[in-house]
Structure 1
Amino acid sequence: MDLRSFAYPIYERYLTWQIAREFSNLPGHVAIILKETDLFDPEGIERLISTLSIFRKFGVQIVSIYVDILKTDPALKAEVASTLKAQLEKSFSSLPAGAGYRIYGADGEINSTVPGKDFFVYVSLGFGGRDEIMRAVLTILSKVETGTVRPEEVDEKMLESHLLVNHEPDIMIRSGGQNLSDFLVWQSVYSELYFTDVNWKDVRKVDLLRAMRDFQKRKRRYGR
């Protein structure tokens, strides 16, 4: 008998029990950073759907996903984003009632959106945080130039209102590496960071439970 196959279900139940004891101290917004190859893998999107279901079960309301597209050629990057969008739309159709999503393309424009009531998924296909902030600044500047916004009205809240995701993630999860990548640069300044060496294709439920349990045990300082 494989001892690991015997031990993991027990450990999974133990983690679930520990998490349930402090159910109020769970992240409401989780961000996940993936590579394009993670979702081109046959099991990648299936694993993503399973992950979303697990998070929702434990009370997470928002999941933000960044798919890091390594292609530098704009046309090729857009092609990869379009392919992934079609795959995600097909898979997201199986999300339970009450769940919604919004998918942003490589140019930061909304490709598709479905309203949700108690669970929402944001997906950015290769459009990173620096580009997000730059576009927000340029949009505000154009409004100042046209007179629809006065310079003294520009503040943090206005900038945040022009970002793709207006919510701050409680925890950022990166699998298979130690680099955060370029995602939610503004929003994640006080987020907890969680790295795991497990590659996305090998991520199990127990790995996600570990991340949530780790979050529960941390004392958040919000920059203080």
Structure 2
Amino acid sequence: MTSTSRGKGPLYRLYISRLRRQLTPQSVPHHVAMMIDGNRRWAKQLGFDSAAHGHRAGAAKMREFLEWCDDLGVKVVSLYLLSTDNVRKRDSAELSDLIEIIADLADELSRVRDWRIQHVGRADLLPPELVAVLEAAEHRTAGNRGLHVNLAVGYGGRSEIVDAVRSIIAAHDRDGGSIQELAASLTPEQIGEHLYTGGQPDPDLVIRTSGEQRLSDFLLWQSAHSEFYFVESLGPDLREVDFLRALRDYGRRDRRYGS
């Protein structure tokens, strides 16, 4: 059964309404991070000859997912679309397809509602054509005040932390400070300000599809106190009911920062 044929009946819609009523504004996370996973397996299970079919279906699901978030009052969503490991290790044909799909998605999202698009990741690892699309999406939506959408493309959490520290060192050096002064004054807050997501709240909830339970180098610093929710559905098969269950579960948790 595909994602397009699931969850259309009256009982499903009734259950969706029930789940929505169980949510309160206080229980909805401010920032949701999504790790869309399982696109390749989805395509293989359905007999497609190319993983691109799965990646396209996953991209379409992400547009839908963002609408769910926006409708419920989530303010920031971070989507993990292409890691630095993907860039270096994926088959060249699959990577080429994936880059084209991401470019199409970024352009599409920059024309939806009042969303603001931001690229988080290493532009120097990406093809110039994709960088141009991501920059155009950012520019087109710079004045928007709706849902803030981070597109993690060419992204790696460890690399992000390294880049943040390098930025801090460079700024300190320009100001004429010594390495000893920097070592004595460096704080977690200072590193946070120099991350790709600097100035944004950390994710309250991190969701991953396909049943995998690992971070895969996504928002390592920012997710130190995040809640995690793992969905068995492959990326393209993610349903609104899965998302609402994640929010319901999140709202029931007692968040203990640091304990």
The two structures have a TM-score, normalised by structure 2, of 0.74
**Corresponding letter in the other structure for 1:24:** Q
Instruction: Give the Cα separation in 1 of the matches to 2:254 and 2:78.
Output: 22
How many percent of aligned residue pairs carry the same amino acid?
A: 28
| 8 Å contact from structure 1 (residues 100, 117) kept in 2 | yes
**What's the CA shift for 1:146?**
3.5
Name 1:162's counterpart in structure 2. Answer: 194
Name 1:63's counterpart in structure 2. Answer: 77
Q: Between Structure 1 and Structure 2, which shows a larger proportion of strand residues?
A: 1
**Corresponding letter in the other structure for 1:119:** L
2:29 to 27, 30, 33: 27
**What's the CA shift for 1:108?**
6.9
**Corresponding letter in the other structure for 2:112:** L
Name 2:3's counterpart in structure 1. Answer: none
Tell me whether 1:125 sits opposite 2:192 in the alignment: no
**What's the CA shift for 1:81?**
6.6
**Corresponding letter in the other structure for 2:193:** S
* Structural mapping, 1:198-217, within 5 Å: 198-217=233-252
**What's the CA shift for 1:5?**
3.8
Q: Which deviations, in whole Å up to 9, do the C-alpha atoms of 1:41-84 show, x marking residues without a partner?
A: 33222211111111111110000111244342599598567424
Q: Which runs of 4+ in 1 moved over 6 A?
A: none
Name 2:19's counterpart in structure 1. Answer: 15
| 8 Å contact from structure 2 (residues 208, 230) kept in 1 | yes
Q: State the number of aligned residues.
A: 220
| 8 Å contact from structure 2 (residues 118, 151) kept in 1 | yes
**Corresponding letter in the other structure for 1:54:** W
| 8 Å contact from structure 1 (residues 82, 105) kept in 2 | no
**Corresponding letter in the other structure for 1:43:** A
Instruction: Give the Cα separation in 2 of the matches to 1:213 and 1:73.
Output: 37
- Name stretches of at least 5 consecutive residues in structure 1 with no aligned partner: none
The two structures have a TM-score, normalised by structure 1, of 0.85
**What's the CA shift for 1:100?**
0.5
Instruction: Give the Cα separation in 1 of the matches to 2:90 and 2:174.
Output: 30
| 8 Å contact from structure 1 (residues 33, 68) kept in 2 | no
**Corresponding letter in the other structure for 1:13:** S
* Cα-Cα RMSD: 3.0
Name 1:50's counterpart in structure 2. Answer: 64
| 8 Å contact from structure 2 (residues 36, 58) kept in 1 | no
Residues 3-12 or 179-188, more deviating: 3-12
Q: Which deviations, in whole Å up to 9, do the C-alpha atoms of 1:112-170 show, x marking residues without a partner?
A: 21223132000111311101001111222223333355514432222111101132100
| 8 Å contact from structure 2 (residues 29, 205) kept in 1 | yes
**What's the CA shift for 1:189?**
0.5
Instruction: Give the Cα separation in 2 of the matches to 1:105 and 1:79.
Output: 18
Are the structure 2 counterparts of residues 201 and 82 from structure 1 closer, same or farther at C-alpha, using a change threshold of 3 Å? closer
Residues 39-48 or 151-160, more deviating: 39-48
Tell me whether 1:87 sits opposite 2:119 in the alignment: no
- Name stretches of at least 5 consecutive residues in structure 2 with no aligned partner: 1-5, 41-50, 126-130
* Structural mapping, 1:136-147, within 5 Å: 136-147=164-175
